[in-house]
Structure 1
Amino acid sequence: MAPTTTATPATDLQEQRMKSIKDFDETKAGVKGLSDSGVTAIPSFFIHPTESLTKSSSKSTLSIPVIDLSQLHSDDHKPKIIEQIHHAAKTWGFFQVINHSSPISVLEETITAIKTFHEQPSEVKAKYYGREEGRGAMYASNNDLYRSKAACWHDSLQVWMAPEATAEEEIPEACRREVVQWDRHAKEVAEAVLELLGLGLGLERGKFKDLDFCGTRVFVGHIYPYCPQPDLTMGITSHTDPSMITVLLQNQIQGLQVKHGEEWVDVEPLHGGLIINIGDMLQIVSNGEYKSVEHRVLANSNRESRISIVMFMNLSHSTWKESAEGGKYYGPLPELLTPENPPVYRDFTLQEYLDNFYTKGLDSKSLIDKITLIKRDN
């Protein structure tokens, strides 16, 4: 007769946790629904370990660089702008651009539309709720809800814009026009910034555009509603972005922090400004010249929701290099490699890149750690 087995206390706790997560997920109401219901205590699966909640102990006077693009087309001023962006990407990995090509009215319309979507009744949003990433339009709370060690206090609307654009009728009506409009404007800003970043590396004009570094684009509209226990959870946990670059538009509610050295620095949103950050892929392509840095969002203690709209820009799958065996791969740009500047990273496959992102929760530079050949201070 086979011996009977009983679940260990740890197994019981894990099963209870997964049931709580599943029950929450099946409401399709997200954390906005919890917040609107008036809860005074957050569910236990949102509680993060103390070490990941540590706030910066110093009152930092640092701030990410602000770069004025108003003189971008001036032959006299453009070299200075290239130098500013190169230095910001190399030392901070984050910067804020002002006087860019996007009208403030478009920025405000986009923020308002995403806020309107998230403030709709749960039953209206529920038809977009899902977990199938990689295409179409999807509303969910925490894209890594079942993969992360602790959930974060935000909901998101994700819309794939390229290379296979989501059909307009599939985008929620509350923000349909604004999502399509913002994709066009954010791409224009991203291409202008990428051109400057390429020139800063000494590459020929148009190199990054020819490589289609904005060929894959994902629109993500986050809401960070009021959290009754903000000291126990996070808005988004510390991570780096896996993309080339990210274009971030947000309302005036603070929460974003960037890690600079060993210090977490608050990012103050400027009216009309757009935040740009370097992703893991651009760090690799630049052979470590540009830095992808950790950033996070604190849980929102304000009664007004924080809105952030993220456009992730990455190269299209069609521009990945083809190996002799037929697989697709990428790595540092050959033009940047010399005997004095050998490759810091090995080539890696498209499948390796995708698996690294979709098989775990958000984290920091896990792909970069796997492919590093030469250690540098990043």
Structure 2
Amino acid sequence: MMNALPIIDLAKLDRPQERAEFYAHLREVARNIGFFYLVGHGVPNAQIQTVLQQGKAFFEQPLTQKQQINMLYSPHFRGYTGPKEEYTQAKPDGREQIDIGAELPLWPNRPSDKPWLQLQGPNLWPEGLPEFKPTILYYQQTMRAVAIRLLRAFLVALGQDEHALDDLIADPPVHLLKLVRYPTASAEADTQGVGAHKDTDILTLLWQDKVGGLQVETDTGWVDVPYVPDSFVINIGEILELATNGYLRANVHRVVAPHSGEDRYSICYFLAPNLDSKVHLLSLPASYAALALGPEADPANPMFENLGANSFKSRLRAHPQVAKRHYSSQS
């Protein structure tokens, strides 16, 4: 497989003479493949490396210590999951990870008929790593700013007011950071690092190391997404696909477990919608609307109009043991 993904330079937004070219390129890339590399994002490499160091320090702990913050203890789906504990398309993924959301109190006065509001709450933090929590929360703030800037650039590129989807990103903030380790697979048949799927949220910003394994499905087959220095891999979530009637493309991707004898590490930031928000269709200019293919529907995993309910459904499906423990009536 050859690398066919384009590179978008976000720094061009700061150069007035290059903005028109930037928006045209972004609009084309987003419609044709929905996956690209983002450079010029302004996130210092030193900050990324500090997050990576904290992640590795966590994963290098004995299993008994990691299990102290197992996701089973969190009704908010936060904390540690080991290999084969998260599921994609009903099959276990080979990665281990820690999920960290916005550090917020429980949703006040939560109605009983809105169980998805239970997704808001505190995180589980590892003991013995005093720099872990401040490092991660600072990185979340940094990545949220980049993600929102990119979201607003998409809107301008599509002839919209840059604040047209601000209701989706209104406070209290909703986002998710995954620190992920893919252990080298023990057998050639054990290939699912993460199964093929679309991301259900707004945007995903991924930092990955040089080991490789990420692949995206295109019209001509699966394409490798190798490491590119000083970049994030960006993919569009299903919410933007819905809001643009399929002009923006949420693409299927997967991670093949490494067999090189070297573990793979990644840092995934997901910009997610406010738990009490709903998706609405943007009114695109006629020339763009004519190119919108409509969102691709998955009968086995339908999108709900209420975005909090949709996020909740995705977590129940991905973490059946957590769902069984805390939400047996919904799962």
The normalised TM-score by structure 2 is 0.78
Distance in 2 separating the partners of 1:162 and 1:294:
30
Note the C-alpha offset of 1:107. 1.2
The equivalences for 1:125-204 within 5 A come to: 125-131=66-72, 135=76, 137-141=78-82, 145=86, 149-161=90-102, 167=122, 170=125, 174=129, 175-204=132-161
Look up the equivalent residue of 1:280 and give its one-letter code: E
* 1:74 alignment counterpart: 15
- Residue 189 of structure 1 deviates from its aligned partner by 1.1
One-letter code of the match for 1:303? Answer: G
For residues 101 and 139 of structure 1, the distance between their equivalents in structure 2, rounded to whole angstroms, comes to 29
Return the offset for 1:246. Answer: 0.6
Q: Could you tell me which residue of structure 2 aligns to residue 95 of structure 1?
A: 36
Taking only the aligned residue pairs, the percentage that are identical comes to 21
- 2:193 alignment counterpart: 235
Bigger RCO of structures 1 and 2 (CA < 8 A, at least 6 apart): 2
2:253 to 285, 295, 302: 295
Query: How far is 1:170 from its partner?
Result: 3.3
Q: 1:209-288 maps to which residues of 2 (within 5 A)?
A: 209=166, 211-212=168-169, 215-288=173-246
Taking a change above 3 Å as real, the CA distance of residues 210 and 77 of structure 1, as seen in their structure-2 partners, is: farther
Matches for 1:5-84 after TM superposition, within 5 Å: 60-84=1-25
Shift of 1:285: 0.9
Determine the structure 2 residue equivalent to 1:306: 264
CA distances 1:3-36 after superposition (whole Å, capped 9, x unpaired): xxxxxxxxxxxxxxxxxxxxxxxxxxxxxxxxxx
Aligned residues: 293
- CA RMSD for the aligned pairs? 3.0
AA of the residue aligned to 2:258: N
User: Which shifted more, 279-288 or 202-211?
Assistant: 202-211
Does 2:57 match 1:116?
A: yes
> Which whole-Å CA distance do the structure 1 matches of 2:156 and 2:190 have between them?
44
Do structure 1's residue 207 and structure 2's residue 148 form an aligned pair?
no
Q: Which has the larger radius of gyration?
A: 1
1:78 Cα deviation after fit: 1.4
* TM-fit CA distance, 1:233: 2.8
Gapped regions of structure 1 (runs ≥ 5): 1-59, 321-328, 363-378
Number of the residue aligned with 1:353: 310
- In the alignment, the residues of structure 1 paired with residue 143 and residue 168 of structure 2 have an alpha-carbon distance, to the nearest angstrom, of 18
Alpha carbons 1:114, 1:221 under 8 Å: kept: yes
Instruction: Give CA deviations for 1:101-141 in whole Å, capped at 9, x if unaligned.
Output: 20111111112211211111112211111336663741012
Distance 1:347 1:127 in 2: 34
Classify 1:209/1:73 alpha carbon distance in 2 versus 1 (closer, same or farther; 3 Å).
farther
- 1:262-295 CA-to-partner distances (Å, cap 9, x unmatched) read 4111111112211111011110011111000100
Paired with 2:306 and 2:93, the residues of 1 have a C-alpha distance of: 30
Per-residue deviation, residues 240-278 of structure 1 (Å, max 9, x unmatched)? 000011111122211100111141111111122111110
Q: Is 1:316 aligned with 2:274?
A: yes
Shift of residue 92 of structure 1?
1.0
Equivalent pair of 2:279/2:307 in contact (CA under 8 Å): yes
Assess, with a 3 A threshold, how the Cα gap between structure 1 residues 173 and 209 changes in structure 2: closer, same or farther.
farther
Q: Alpha-carbon deviations, 1:156-205, whole Å to 9, x = none?
A: 10011166576578355532232112101111110111111011111013
- The equivalent residue for 1:23 is none
In the superposition, relative to structure 1, how do residues 147 and 238 fare at CA in structure 2: closer, same or farther (>3 Å)?
closer
Report the CA distance between 1:303 and its aligned residue.
2.4
Alpha-carbon separation, structure 2, partners of 1:146 and 1:197: 31
Q: Which amino acid aligns with 2:198?
A: T
- 1:297 aligned counterpart, secondary structure: strand
Letter in 2 for 1:195: R
8 Å Cα contact 1:216-1:316 kept in structure 2: yes
Q: Contact conserved, 2:175 with 2:270, CA < 8 A, in 1? A: yes
Q: 1:132 to 1:152 in 2, by over 3 A?
A: same
Amino acid at match of 2:251: V
Residue identity opposite 2:202 in structure 1: M
1:163–1:242 CA distance, 2 compared to 1 (3 A): farther
Deviation at 1:100, TM superposition (A): 1.1
Structure 1 residues 67 and 141: CA distance shift in structure 2, 3 A = same
Q: Give a deviation string over 1:316-340, Cα, whole Å, max 9, x none.
A: 124x2xxxxxxxx43323x3387x7
Contact 1:159-1:166 within 8 A present in 2 as well: no
Report the equivalent of 2:329: none
SS in 2 for 1:78: helix
